[in-house]
Amino acid sequence: MLPRVYIRSPVDDDWSTLLDLHQRSADYHSPWAEPAKNEEGCRRYIHRCHTEPFEGMLIWHAIDHRLVGVANLSQIFYGSFQNAYLGYYGNVDYAGQGLMTEGVKLVLNHAFNSLKLHRIEANIQPGNTASIKLIKRLGFAHEGFSRQYLKINGEWRDHERWALTVDNWLR
């Protein structure tokens, strides 16, 4: 079966495509995420992808080459930790088609095989059932609950902590 999606790092010219996804999917992302809603914010995100211990990946539809979503590996640590935090959000136009699961799977392959990370952690708000289902499909294990973990849309929000190690990924 041919892949339905592919991933790549964003380039400077992607800012307008990214902004379009953010604006059209704003209601879909709320209250779970707050992606940039202006050109400056999208350009800052692309710059961050190339300057920090951060890997931002755009997930593209393999046939129509439209943007399906975004997945990020942030706070990448090496040495004895070899860990990163996973975040992702999708395009409302592709919701429920399994494309984000396929795209995040490619990002995890990159994390474990190219970056040689040992562990990926995802923190998800308890009410974000679609995101929790996605992470479960990829083999993440529930590890705990963090009260007022991240400030999103101006509010400190509780999160469930999910993690996956390379050993479990390879099974």
pLDDT, tens digit, for every residue of 27-83? 888 888 889 999 999 999 999 999 889 999 999 999 999 999 999 999 999 999 999
pLDDT of residue 40: 97
pLDDT of residue 34: 86
Judged against a pLDDT cut of 80, whether residue 169 lies above it is answered with yes
Domains of the chain by start residue, with CATH: 5-168 (3.40.630.30)
Judged against a pLDDT cut of 80, whether residue 1 lies above it is answered with no
* pTM, rounded to two decimals: 0.95
Hey, is 93 helix, strand or coil? helix
Task: Compute the C-alpha angle 47/61/56, nearest 5°.
Answer: 20
pLDDT, tens digit, for every residue of 117-165? 999 999 999 999 999 999 999 999 999 999 999 898 889 999 999 999 9
Select from 72, 143, 63 the least CA-distant residue to 104. 72
Q: Going by C-beta distance under 8 Å and a sequence separation of 6 or more, which residues neighbour residue 78?
A: none
Helices of type H across 25-159:
26-29, 39-51, 99-109, 129-137
pLDDT of residue 32: 85
SS3 content of the chain, % helix, strand, coil (to 5): 35, 35, 30
